[in-house]
Structure formats: C-alpha cells, structure tokens
Amino acid sequence: MTKDTQKLNSIEKALEIMLKFQDIKPSWGIRELSTELGFSPATVQRILQVLKSYEFVRQNPKNRQYFIGNIFYRFLENLNSSNDLIRIGHKFMEEVASATHETVHLNIIEKNLRICIDNIESPKVLKAGMPIGNQSPLYAGASAKCLLAFSTEEFQDNYFKTTEITPVTGNTIIQPGKLFKELYKIKEQGYALSLGERTPGLGSLSAPVFNYKGQILASLSLAIPEIRLKQKDHLSNCINILTSASKSFSKAMGLGTGKF
Amino acid sequence: MTKDTQKLNSIEKALEIMLKFQDIKPSWGIRELSTELGFSPATVQRILQVLKSYEFVRQNPKNRQYFIGNIFYRFLENLNSSNDLIRIGHKFMEEVASATHETVHLNIIEKNLRICIDNIESPKVLKAGMPIGNQSPLYAGASAKCLLAFSTEEFQDNYFKTTEITPVTGNTIIQPGKLFKELYKIKEQGYALSLGERTPGLGSLSAPVFNYKGQILASLSLAIPEIRLKQKDHLSNCINILTSASKSFSKAMGLGTGKF
DNA sequence: AACACTGTTTTATGATATGAAACAGTGGGG
DNA sequence: CCCCACTGTTTCATATCATAAAACAGTGTT
C-alpha cells in the first residue's frame, strides 16, 4: 500500500498515519497501525499523542482506540472559498438543479479517485444522495468515467498501470477493452451515462468542465434514480440541460476566451 | 495566537502550519508563515515540501505560493460514517426539512467554534445557505448560542475567559450581561432564536441534542430568511417541529433510556 | 489465576531537524 | 535600465530529537 516505508522522516510518518484515517473504519489501535505501516508501536503511540493534542484524532477513553477528529471539518470553509470551481460553479449547479429537480454534484480527481466536492440534493422524495466527500474509483459511475475519459493520455496510462480494477457492483465495467471503448464513446458524445455501476438502482449522467487550456477540471453530474432515468423524455431533457450548463461553466472558467 | 511556539517538535510544527490553512485565505508565502509562526523560513520550506508531496497543500507554480490541498475532502466520508450524530440524525433532519421547507443544519463545537457538520438546503428560491464546514463564534447566531447555553458551566467559564467578543454584524450581542441573560433564556425555553447576528437578513432557530448523560452533543437548527421568520404562524410551526425533532433525536442518542 | 492481548513509558543510541547564511529568481519604481 | 527589496530555495555543521526494543501496566477471557 504505502511506499517503501521506513526511511520516512517523522512528519511523513505522521502524515501516513493521518492518511489511514481516510478509510471508512470506525477506529484504529496502535499495534494495528504499527503492523499496517511498519512503524514501531512506540513511534505510532508518540505520533498519535501529538495528533490527539491537536484534535486531528480523538481517543475513546474506554477502549483507548483512536478515531478521526472533527478538526477536518474546519478546513472545508477555506477549501470551498479558495476553490474557483465551487465559487464559480455553484450557480450553474443551481440552474441544473432547478431545471431537472435531480441531485446535482461536482467532482474532481484526487489521488486516483473521483471525489464529490459540491452538491445540491433533489427536492423529490425518491432521490439520490451524493454527499460532499463521497469517493469512488475512476472506472465506476458516469462522473468518474467522465473525469477519466477527458484526462490526458499520460494520466490514463499511468492510472491503468497502477490500478487494479475490481467490480463495485455487478454492473461495473471491468473488462479493459470494454472500458476503453466506453471512454472513447464518452469523449465522442461529450457526456457519460451509467446505471448501477456504483450503487444498484442509481443512474448517473456527467459532463466535463474544462479550463482555458482545455484541460479537465471537474465533472458536473446528475445522480438519478433508475426509475426516472428510464423515462426517455426526462433523460434527454437532463442531457441537454447538463451539457449546456457544463459548456457555460467551462466558458466561465476561461475556456475559449484565449486568456492566458 | 499559537502557544509558546519554538520548543515544538517537527510534527507539531507541521501541524501548526496545517492549521494556518484553516483560515479563509487564498494562499500563504513561506516568509509570511515563518514570521507568523516563529519558525525559520528554511524549516517552513522543508515542512511545506513534505506536506506538498502528500497533497495536503498545493503550490501555485507561477508565484510559488502555497494553498490548501484537496486531500481534506477525502476525510469527510469516514468522518461522516464514524459520526453517530450524522448517521442517526440525518433522518430527523429530513423530517424537519420536509415539514418546514427551510434549510436544516446540524452543528457541533470544535475548538471554541460552532461548525456545521450536516445540512439539508431549503427547496425554496429564497433560502439560507449553510454549507458543511461553515463556522462562527459561539456567541453569534442561534445555533452557536444554543451550543453554548447548554454547555457545562466549566466550559462556559473557560470560554469567556479565553475569548474576546467582537461583533460579527450590528446585531451581534456583545455585552456580557445581555449575553448571559440570553443564554439563561435559551436554557429556560429549550430553544434559541436569533436574527441577523451573523448575516444580515438571515434568522435562525436552534434546539439542543443530548447524549444519555444529558451532555450536549450538537444543535439542530433551521436557517430562515428574515421575511419568513417574521410570519408568526410559520415561526411557531417551525419551533414546534424543531423542538420535537430534537427531542426524538436526543432519545435516539440514548437520552432518558438509562443506558450505560 | 494464568494468559494473551491491549496501550504506554523508558532508554541509550544515532539519525535527522535545525537556523544562519548564501543563493537564485522576480517584480516594481526611480 | 538597473537597482533594490522582496520572494522561495539550498547548503551545512551542530546538537537536538526521533527511534525501536524492552519492560510496564492495565484489560478481558478462558
């Protein structure tokens, strides 16, 4: 999992430990982290004490296990306000939300994963949830495939070289040939469509957002329950609204203005 | 701001630097952080290189300034799923949302600040936004005052000893006497109400959530535009729905069950 | 009561973080 | 146009600080 371990300085060790608290896992023990990371229990213990004093982790006083601290919420406000994508993009998301009444979300690539960085939930009773922070591999679901499809060839090559493809649901495309074809198709038609690749019964529609250089920044997506996705007129309506919004969004990010 | 500085080990220095990226500030320079924290520029530089390699910060290649990294989004999924409050409470939030059609949010205290950890936005056109990660001091706004009012006396004493009260808007209560009276009133009536203390034109309604020991865990709140808050029937309706939901929520967290 | 687990503290040793100073770019103003 | 003042970055000898093994101290189970 982690690199050659050992030979890391103390800060790197602390960060490696913090990264472990990304996993959806209620808590970690010291010896557990120790064997997982290859650091001695004494080292893990000492680092966790420091992280605890800064509230990056908390400790259950009963079983003394460590779990993630609420301090991470504190970074979100700055993250959102320094992020042009969210600042500029939210109004396009609102347009799509009010025109489709479906859950709208915005996604980026972070360390080989799709991650949701902004959302507007559908007002309907039957709706798709897509909380901020939700993540998935880049081959499962329209939003993820859209990000991958419009990435550079270099990024794609590197991604497939370093990633093992394992199905998330029965509908996940795992055959490399079929996946390449799908990515090609997405680039051709300018949007991605998926059904149940990540969550059974849940479909997804996604269009790319580019910067002034034409590099992909994000994917703007709709998460739609299967029942509504199968209504042809609703689907084609959603496709039109979404692709049109993503084009305006890209323009707002500088695409086509020749700005440098 | 920070403690005695110096005499910190390298991990603590790295964390102090990370904390600086909580501030709503687009970017930091090395010498800027150096003078702010009292570390030598060389030290700041070296630590930022490490943080950068782990994507905790990014660097603008043009002006070489550092800004916060997207990796912080990655912790949210685990944070949400390890947090009983969100797992258990979201359904109560949905009840309140569909009964009031106003923006519902859930808040906790983290390091002497109120911080929003979950939300459901109003479906109306004129609505209050309250993104996850939004923060404010504990004396401004209903959600914050509610958290403070039901905190232990010890916490309150310590809070007022270490906090300087500065107005956020013209409506913020800054007179200690008036504030104490307000906190007492909130405890008496079981909910908090505010108008424009944090954002002009925006009102707020908040009720406490307790654990089995009767300690406050969170405040469940409504953010309501001033125009709708002034409709008496709507307001009293919202108060009833919110306080009733917060009581069910507390019960779901174990209050009154005698469970240990 | 003995065992097999935890998390935690201690310790001498040697690796590694440190700040001053020098270096290397950059942008603005006279 | 050139200087100056400001960046971020690298170097390097010094001494601090992180390290892992082992002992310690709790805990729950058998």
Across residues A165-192, what is the average pLDDT? 94
pLDDT value at residue B62? 84
The CA distance from B117 to B107, in Å, is 6
Contact at CB, B21 and A75, closer than 8 angstroms:
yes
Unique residue bearing structure tokens 């029965």: A170
Across residues B138-149, what is the average pLDDT? 97
Mutate one of A60, A78, A103 to test the B interface: name it (highest B CB count within 10 A): A78
Residue B222: strand pairing partners = B104, B205
Contact at CB, B76 and A19, closer than 8 angstroms:
no
Share of chain A above pLDDT 70, in %: 96
Q: How far apart are the first and last CA of chain B?
A: 39
- Close Cβ partners of A163 (under 8 Å, ≥ 6 residues apart): A112, A137, A138, A139
Residue A64: what residue type?
Answer: R
Share of chain B above pLDDT 90, in %: 81
Say whether pLDDT at B2 is over 50.
Answer: no
Task: State the average pLDDT for chain B.
Answer: 92
Say whether pLDDT at B1 is over 60.
Answer: no
The CATH 3.30.450.40 portion of chain A extends over 83-252
Residue A180: what residue type?
Answer: F
Unique residue bearing structure tokens 């108008």: B195
Q: Across the interface, which of A11, A71, A79 has its CB nearest the CB of B11? A: A11
Say whether pLDDT at B260 is over 50.
Answer: no
pLDDT value at residue B6? 52
Say whether pLDDT at A202 is over 80.
Answer: yes
Covered bases, chain C (protein CB within 7 Å): 5-11, 16-22, 27
For residue B10, CA distances in Å to A95, A218, B29 come to 47, 35, 19
User: Max alpha carbon distance in chain A (Å)?
Assistant: 62
Please write the tens of the pLDDT for every residue from B231-258.
999 999 999 999 999 999 999 998 876 5
pLDDT value at residue A125? 86
Question: What six digits make up the tokens of A56?
Answer: 């990056």
**C-beta separation of B218 from B106 below 8 A:** yes
pLDDT value at residue A134? 95
pLDDT confidence band for A239 (50 / 70 / 90): very high
Q: Is the CB of A226 under 7 A from strand C?
A: no
| Sign of the dihedral through C-alpha A193, A133, B106, B90 | positive
Say whether pLDDT at A2 is over 60.
Answer: no
- Rounded, the Å distance between the CA of A56 and C1' of C12 is 31
Unique residue bearing structure tokens 């390449």: A180
Four-way CATH pick for B10-73: 2.60.40.1120, 3.30.420.60, 1.10.10.10, 2.60.40.10: 1.10.10.10
Q: How far apart are the first and last CA of chain A?
A: 39
Q: Is the CB of A5 under 7 A from strand C?
A: no
pLDDT value at residue A6? 52
Across residues B130-134, what is the average pLDDT? 94
Q: Across the interface, which of A26, A79, A134 has its CB nearest the CB of B68? A: A79
Assign a CATH topology to domain A10-71: Arc Repressor Mutant, subunit A (1.10.10)
Which residues of B are less than 8 Å from A72 in CB distance? 72, 75-76, 79
pLDDT confidence band for B26 (50 / 70 / 90): confident
Residue A86 parent element (H or E) = helix A84-100
- Close Cβ partners of B213 (under 8 Å, ≥ 6 residues apart): none
Comparing B259 with B42, the larger pLDDT belongs to B42
- Close Cβ partners of A190 (under 8 Å, ≥ 6 residues apart): A207, A208, A243
Contact at CB, B73 and A15, closer than 8 angstroms:
no
Say whether pLDDT at A203 is over 90.
Answer: yes
Say whether pLDDT at A1 is over 80.
Answer: no
Say whether pLDDT at B85 is over 70.
Answer: yes
pLDDT value at residue A256? 75
- Close Cβ partners of B39 (under 8 Å, ≥ 6 residues apart): B5, B13, B16, B17, B33, B47
In angstroms, the separation between the Cα of residue A133 and the nearest Cα of chain B is 5
pLDDT confidence band for A4 (50 / 70 / 90): very low
Q: Which CATH superfamily, name and number, covers B83-252?
A: GAF domain (3.30.450.40)
Please write the tens of the pLDDT for every residue from B34-73.
998 989 899 999 999 999 999 999 998 888 899 999 999 9
Residues near chain D strand, CB within 7 A: A 6, 8-10, 13, 39-43, 46-47; B 7, 9-11, 29-32, 41-42, 45-46, 48-49, 59, 64-65
pLDDT value at residue A212? 87
The CA distance from B49 to B47, in Å, is 5
pLDDT confidence band for B148 (50 / 70 / 90): very high
Across residues A37-66, what is the average pLDDT? 91
Which residues of A are less than 8 Å from B73 in CB distance? 76, 79, 110, 115-117, 132-133
The CATH 1.10.10.10 portion of chain A extends over 10-71
Please write the tens of the pLDDT for every residue from B174-189.
999 999 999 999 999 9
